[in-house]
Amino acid sequence: MGTTLAVVDEAQNVACGTHDLRLREMEATVSRQLPTFIRQATRHLGNSADAEDAVQDAMLSAFRHLSQFRGQAQMSTWLTRIVINSARGQLRKRSRNNHVSIDAPPPEGEAYPILERLADRGLSPEEACRRSDLALHASKLAQKLSPNLRKAFQLRDLEGKTIREMTDTLDASAGAVKSRVSRARAELRRLARAI
């Protein structure tokens, strides 16, 4: 009977030693990786306040389940996975609760409905006019370029084509296309300064 108790005591001491070792490893990892954990959570949640809550929940969960860490991965990898899962859990909770009709009457104390308070992501009239003037001016200057340079400039900067798409259209190598675009831009800058 005494031998059995000694074996049990030794097993408990080993388990406690392993737990203490894991706890110290977790503390060291958290102190080193905390900004990384917060960035990971922010990437998923979109704001730092929710990210900090997710990281705090994740660290509490990791501490509670530290005995389940088997050491098959690094402690930082294990903790990162817990942080990401915590952030995703917050997203699932958030998506269930945040449904607001944009046509609903304004909330108490608000003068305008939600639809009228949303920011317009389009160009302002001034910006649209400025861009239109710039495009017109660039087109006029482009007429002074050689045909090869003009075509390269139009395809790349006015039509937004990729270099790969331009190689087929211009029947030239990627290097030649890049060179034409660069020369066209340099010539346009020179012409714009001369005006």
One-letter-per-residue 3-state SS of 33-69? HHHHHHHHHHHHHCCHHHHHHHHHHHHHHHHHCHHHC
Res. 11: pLDDT tops 50: no
- The CB density around residue 173, as the number of other CB atoms within 10 Å, is 11
Q: Please tell me the pTM assigned to this model.
A: 0.43
Nearest CA among 5, 87, 8, 78 for reference residue 42: 87
Residue 123 sits at φ, ψ, to 5 deg, of: -70, 145
Nearest CA among 6, 21, 26 for reference residue 78: 26
Q: pLDDT, tens digit, for every residue of 32-61?
A: 989 999 999 998 888 888 899 999 999 999
> Any idea what DSSP says for residue 154?
I
For residues 178 and 162, is the Cβ–Cβ distance under 8 A?
A: no
Q: pLDDT, tens digit, for every residue of 154-166?
A: 899 888 899 999 9
Res. 151: pLDDT tops 90: yes
Residue spans per domain, the chain = 9-97, 125-194
Choose between 190 and 101: higher pLDDT. Answer: 190
CATH topology (fold) of 125-194: Arc Repressor Mutant, subunit A (1.10.10)
125-194 shares the fold of 9-97: no
CATH topology (fold) of 9-97: Rna Polymerase Sigma Factor; Chain: A (1.10.1740)
